[in-house]
Structure formats: C-alpha cells, structure tokens
Amino acid sequence: MIKRIQEWLSRKDRQEPVEISPDNIPRHVAIIMDGNGRWAKRRGLPRIVGHQNGMKAVKRATIAANDLGVEFLTLYAFSTENWSRPKDEVDFLMRLPVEFLAIELDELIHKNVQVRVMGNAEALPSHTRKAMEEAVARTQSNTGLILNFALNYGGRKEIEDCMRGLGKDIQAGVLSPEEITSELIDSRLLSGGLPDPDLLIRTSGEMRLSNFMLWQVAYSEFWFTDAYWPEFDKTHLMQAVAEYQRRTRRYGGLK
C-alpha cells in the first residue's frame, strides 16, 4: 500500500496541466538521464530492463523537445566514471546506442534532427563508435533540432584537455596568455559551436551535476524531478520549461 501511495505521489505533479509560452522556449536543454537501475529495481527487474526503457525515454524526450521548438538537446548518455560499473552492464550500455540508432535513425532523419556526439570516442567499442559516426554522417546536413549525445564524457577531463591544448599553444608561441578569453575556452571545449544550456534537467531526485558540463552550466537554470528517467515524458519536459519561464535570469546582475 505504501509503495502504491509513493508511486501515486510521484505521478501527481506530471498530471497537473502545464501552460508554457512559445515566446520563451530555452534554446538549449541538457538532461542528466538518471534512475534507470532504480526504476527497474523498484519493479523487481534486472537493471538492463531499466536501461532499455531509458532508451524509449530518449526518443520521447527528443520528439518532445523538437515539438516545443528546442534547438539543442544534450543528453548525458555515459560518463567517464561509468566504466567502473560491472562489465556486463557496461557492455550492454555500449550496445544501446547501436540498437537505438538502428531503430530510430531513419525517423530522426525524417524529422530533420542532426545528431552530434561529444566525448572520448576513441575509447568506445568499435561497434558503438561506428553507429555514432554513421548517425553523425547521415544527419550532418539536417537543419532542425541538434541532438547531442554526451558519450564517454567527463566535464573535468574536458576542461583538462582544453587547458592542456591552450598550454601547448602558448609553449609553441602561437598564443599568449592575454589572448585567453571565455569565448576562446568555449570554442575549445567539446561543446564548441553550441550555446551554453539554458536549462539543465536531472531525473531521479538526485541534485548534483555528476561531472556534467561544468563550465557550460555556469548560468543555466536547474530543474530536478523525482521521476526516474524511464518515466520521463513530454509532460515532464513541459513542466521544466514552464518553471524555466517563471524565473528571471540575471547572470549575476540586477534586473
């Protein structure tokens, strides 16, 4: 009985009607997709079933973002720390992009979605890397929503690599310290060419960044939900956008 009441409470918020203005849609939404394993555990299912259902939520979120007019959607698919998980689970997670793109790539192309990837691709299994490279190549001329997968991505590693590259340029004499600006750092990050996220969403009730886009979310609006990622749907996204629209972004100033 207690479990049923908890589940009803977790669904209550997303049953409320949501109104959003088409004039203030966040350009870039980033999502930390969390809770696949706990979603499965609560149902007495293997963790991999949670990951499979999480893949379905990726499609729902992409369609919802596209329908709302979001221009960029970045999804935290696999972190550099996730390699420490059991090998069987990691192997399964590395197969998910292959399965997802085999099923959904044609529809993404039809919907004019452009697929991008940021992270250390060289460390990925060949089948995962090949699937992602094919998706990027086949959608590169699309002009609609940019669906950016953070795959084998870590925010600290990204900043380290950026600083290392700048240091080498200084050492080589092609860059002076005085020329280093926020704009230059932006261009050297893995997200170079994308605007910073306007809205960061994290599912499953956790309230931390988990090494995700540490530089880029400096002035992002955060929205957290207790819903696990496999439960995430358009209503959750609309709730997040509605909350975003109720806030005033000051960027450290007074407005």
36 assigned binding-site residue: yes
**DSSP H or E run through 29:** strand 28-32
10 assigned binding-site residue: no
Q: Within 13 Å, how many C-alpha atoms sit on residue 204's CB side?
A: 19
Instruction: Residue 3: count other Cβ atoms within 10 Å of its Cβ.
Output: 8
220 assigned binding-site residue: no
127 assigned binding-site residue: no
Identify the DSSP state of 186. Answer: H
35 assigned binding-site residue: yes
Catalytically active residues, by annotation: 34, 82
43 assigned binding-site residue: no
129 assigned binding-site residue: no
39 assigned binding-site residue: yes
Q: What residues have CB less than 8 Å from 147, skipping those under 6 apart?
A: 62, 73, 75, 108, 113, 114, 115, 116
51 assigned binding-site residue: yes
34 assigned binding-site residue: yes
Nearest CA among 247, 248, 225 for reference residue 16: 225
The Cα 80–Cα 245 span in angstroms is: 33
The Cα 158–Cα 216 span in angstroms is: 11
143 assigned binding-site residue: no
37 assigned binding-site residue: yes
89 assigned binding-site residue: no
CB 85 within 8 A of CB 41: no
Q: Contacts from 88-94 at CB under 8 Å and sequence distance 24+?
A: 89/47, 89/48, 89/51, 92/48, 92/51, 93/51, 94/124, 94/125, 94/127, 94/128
85 assigned binding-site residue: yes
Q: How far is CA 171 from CA 30, 158, 167, 175, in A?
A: 35, 20, 6, 8
- Known binding-site residue numbers: 34-39, 47, 51, 79-81, 83, 85, 202, 208-210, 221
Which residues belong to the annotated binding site for Mg(2+)?
34, 221
Residues of each annotated binding site for substrate: 35-39, 47, 51, 79-81, 83, 85, 202, 208-210
